Structure 1
Amino acid sequence: METSKTLQNWNQVIEIQLVYKTKVKASQRPYISCSKSVYQLALQCWNPNTIEFFEEFKILLLNQSNKVLGMYEVSSGGIAGTSVDIRMIFAAAIKANAVSLIIIHNHPSGQVKPSEADMQITRKVKEAGRIMDITLLDHLIITPETYYSFVDEGAL
């Protein structure tokens, strides 16, 4: 049962506002046309001093015109993996008002072959995105020299 003190304070609840502001004009946003353009953009955003040191997991957020809204680092971890919380992926996508996203992570080993964990996270994000109408366009595994695209390889 509610106490009278709790009921008296109901109107002091903070109002939640959703706001999206950008400093980049729509005409200046990079356009994503293929996995190679994603790879080139990812290399520009990745720290070259850590790409071969530890694994990082990022998402590229896109608008309806496949223009980049931003890149968000979901997690960073150890040599052989990093923990990914799907809720954090979609919290960022919703806040940016993204209609699609691309998963990107590096393999410090230099090998781009996806692990079973890579395939599982791809399936989970794709399914969650389907429910939320946010399309997973691709998943790239990158190294400084090359990349693997799930779409190009028919794995998505």
Structure 2
Amino acid sequence: MVQYKSFEVAEVNLTYSPSYKIADRPKISTSKEAYDLVLAQWDLNKINLLEEFKVLLLNRGNRVLGFINISQGGITGTVADPKLIFVAALKAAASYIILAHNHPSENLKASAEDLRLTKKLVEAGKLLDILVMDHLIITKEGYSSFCDEGLI
């Protein structure tokens, strides 16, 4: 039988001290406001070339805490890893998230995979008390909102 030495566990301290005033951050109240903010962060030279997945991180007052690029794929898809999405939300102390990805085809209709992933992320968010407020499919010309369409 192998004997193992016991290990001490270091104390972990959680702190959160942003270097900005939260009142100075944009407040998101509509899907159009979320779309405008997300589109302003997008590299428009790539929006019709390859699919990307990004997330807006919000506090309980719907103020934007941050914006994160989750993945960049090819012409027909990209991988959005739930672990990366929620580790970012947890690190930012986010209460809400808004998912966003583009369709280079400019088709604003959600695919079966889009619907499956959104459902998975909504369920994961419930476990962590992080609400998925919306999922936007965007193009240069417009967007569709899962929330507005009753899909969330």
* Superposition TM-score, scaled by structure 1 size: 0.90
Give the secondary structure class of the aligned counterpart of 1:148.
Answer: strand
Unaligned runs of 5+ in 2: none
Q: CA deviation at 1:52?
A: 1.0
Select which of 36, 40, 45 maps to 1:44.
Answer: 40
Q: How far has the Cα of 1:131 moved from its partner? A: 1.2
Alpha carbons of structure 1 residues 115 and 30: separation in structure 2 relative to 1, 3 Å = same
Alignment of 1:5-154 (within 5 A): 6-7=5-6, 10-11=7-8, 16-154=12-150
Percent identical: 48
Letter in 1 for 2:95: V
Greater helix share, structure number: 1
**Per-residue displacement from partner, 1:5-44 (whole Å, max 9, x unpaired)?**
x44xx34x66655444433311110000000000000111
CA RMSD of aligned residues (A): 1.5
Q: Structure 1 unaligned runs (5+)?
A: none
Query: What SS does the corresponding residue of 1:69 show, helix, strand or coil?
Result: strand
2 CA distance for matches of 1:16 and 1:76? 33
Q: Across the two proteins, how many residue pairs are aligned to each other?
A: 151
Distance change in 2, residues 1:27/1:82 (3 Å)? same
Q: Which runs of at least 4 in structure 1 moved beyond 2 Å after TM superposition?
A: 13-24
2:64 corresponds to which letter in structure 1?
A: V
What is the TM-score normalised by the length of structure 2?
0.92
What does residue 2 of structure 1 align with?
3
